[in-house]
Amino acid sequence: MKTPTRILFVGNSFTYYHNGLETHFSKLVASGHPKWDMHADRATQGGATLKILQGLSWVHEKIKTGRYDVVVLQEDIPELREHAMEPFFENARLFDREIRDAGGKTVLFMAWPYARLNWVTLEQIVEAHRAMSKELGAPVAPVGMALARSLKEQPAMAMLGKDHEHETIQGTYLAACVFYATLLGENPEGLKYSPADVTSEQAAFLQRIAWETVKEWQN
């Protein structure tokens, strides 16, 4: 995939938490490529699935007029009231067609399951994204897999906060590193940027987890 210069993140609070995933992604990019002119933006609404976002005219207007190289689609599969994957498939297809018509490329943001809505497993979320990736020819940023990998190696470092649903700042930083590896095709290990509440040791660990997860997904 050609390195993008204009990126739009479409999703819900998983995307806008901790001052926005695009903010931390942009700072990672700036720390690795200070001369690269990259712009990242978001179109988000709390609690929204892609089906809900599909009904918001301002989201479509942003996609159509923003001249984005990449539009990231973040579905919140546990929130699907149908307890089925079809709404994700249907609305990802609709958004993908619109993104392509606007001259952009779709990237899928794989999120995670959580206890409040426990009808779906991470394995099912993974398979749903694998199927959509194959159908649309769209890359996947495997954030949910990276969170699980981090917890397996360092269970004391929480990836989700007190509500057991939204990510901690460490979880957001890990997601940003996953997107760095996915969108740039580069290893984020060694990048200098990390948020104030993420220690240098945590940052190094999360950078490695992100890179290993993306390479495993792509292989």
For the chain, which residues make up each domain, given as ranges?
A: 6-218
Cα 39 to Cα 3: distance, rounded to the nearest angstrom: 12
Give the per-residue pLDDT at 16.
Answer: 98
Domain 6-218 CATH superfamily: SGNH hydrolase (3.40.50.1110)
Q: What tokens appear for 108 in the block? A: 């899928």
Give the per-residue pLDDT at 2.
Answer: 75
Give the per-residue pLDDT at 21.
Answer: 98
Give the per-residue pLDDT at 106.
Answer: 98
The model carries a pTM of: 0.98
Segment-wise mean pLDDT, segments of 10 residues, the chain, 219 residues: 90 98 98 94 98 98 98 98 97 98 98 96 98 98 98 98 97 98 97 97 98 97
Alpha helix stretches (DSSP H) within 8-101? 13-16, 21-32, 50-54, 57-65, 86-101
Cα 49 to Cα 73: distance, rounded to the nearest angstrom: 10
